[in-house]
Structure 1
């Protein structure tokens, strides 16, 4: 199975947790032409910022590691460069720059220097802006969607954040669900 087909399957399993723009990228199969690929590039610092951003969305808990540990900081730039059309790549890059400017303006700090409380406030503001934008693609929506997709298609997401049986038994569609039990990955 190729990477695009595997990601489509994961996106389908995540259902409505992913925005329509990301589903369009994965399902419409409009194939990013070579001339559209890699319209933008990410520095090591930007990848670190994306890893921290993703870790705000899915942090490490006592039962599973977070998005940063799952490698989502590398996954997001790869997906944006290789799978998104040029217009969405540029939208993502400009949105990321706007977020970094917002950090300077609102907190007088760069993103990596923000406290946990300041990061939470930033995420609340970005969420509100994305909701106000309706169904228009935005940096926040793309980064959030790719965080979910990258995390739940990673080994950590499949084996620690969800129940995992490497060799499942017979199918039983009426298994008792215990309160607090993880969702099944297999």
Structure 2
């Protein structure tokens, strides 16, 4: 006697769950993020990000998800995630566009405040990121997506920013939440 498909005891891999979640909420993940979540390598670039670019990526991500009562993007290692996705799961044209976005962020920071982005105060960094949302919209959208996916798929994001049950019980689709309660991790 076979088990009906809706009663199997198999689990859904994390990557597939995230892809299904993205479809359920009405959005799709970009191709580089989908490739990263599936563990695919599209291209490996010989050009690594410079130390300054690595710091800039981590600082930008930390402005998007700052440290509050939970660790921020920098503490969760989101910068390394972004570097990996851009270096291994993105086409050369996407990598170049991302590098140009980083360069233009540095130019904007220096022309506005006379310092590199990493040397700015948090309010100044927030001002630059706000300007990026208008001046460099495709770059910012890519950065924001990578930051969010990197953060909430990290151990820090899944266990400290979200509630996490490593071995979930039965499915309960409608559970009332208390005021201020965190959402559940996938």
Q: Which residue of 2 aligns with 1:147?
A: 147
Is residue 10 of structure 1 aligned with residue 11 of structure 2? no
Bigger radius of gyration: 2
- Per-residue CA deviation, residues 99-122 of structure 1 (Å, 9 max, x unaligned), is 101111111111111111111110
* Cα distance in 1 between the residues matched to 2:106 and 2:152: 26
Is residue 101 of structure 1 aligned with residue 111 of structure 2? no
The two structures, once aligned, show a CA RMSD in angstroms of: 2.6
Deviation at 1:26, TM superposition (A): 4.2
Q: Which residue of 2 aligns with 1:92?
A: 98
Give the stretch that moved more between structures: 102-111 or 10-19: 10-19
Gaps of 5+ in 2: 1-12
* Cα distance in 1 between the residues matched to 2:34 and 2:88: 15
Q: How does 1:1-186 map to 2 (within 5 A)?
A: 6-7=14-15, 9-14=17-22, 22-27=29-34, 33=42, 36-38=43-45, 40-62=47-69, 64-131=70-137, 138-186=138-186
8 Å contact 1:163–1:185 — kept in the other structure?
Answer: yes
* Cα distance in 2 between the residues matched to 1:53 and 1:115: 12
- Per-residue CA deviation, residues 142-163 of structure 1 (Å, 9 max, x unaligned), is 1111101100100011001111
Deviation at 1:167, TM superposition (A): 2.5
Q: How many residues align?
A: 171
| Higher relative contact order (CA closer than 8 Å, sequence separation 6+) | 1
Gaps of 5+ in 1: 132-137
Deviation at 1:40, TM superposition (A): 3.5
* Cα distance in 2 between the residues matched to 1:80 and 1:18: 24
* Cα distance in 1 between the residues matched to 2:136 and 2:15: 24
Deviation at 1:168, TM superposition (A): 2.1
TM-score when scaled to structure 2? Answer: 0.80
CA 1:88/1:97 → structure 2, altered by over 3 Å: closer, same or farther? same
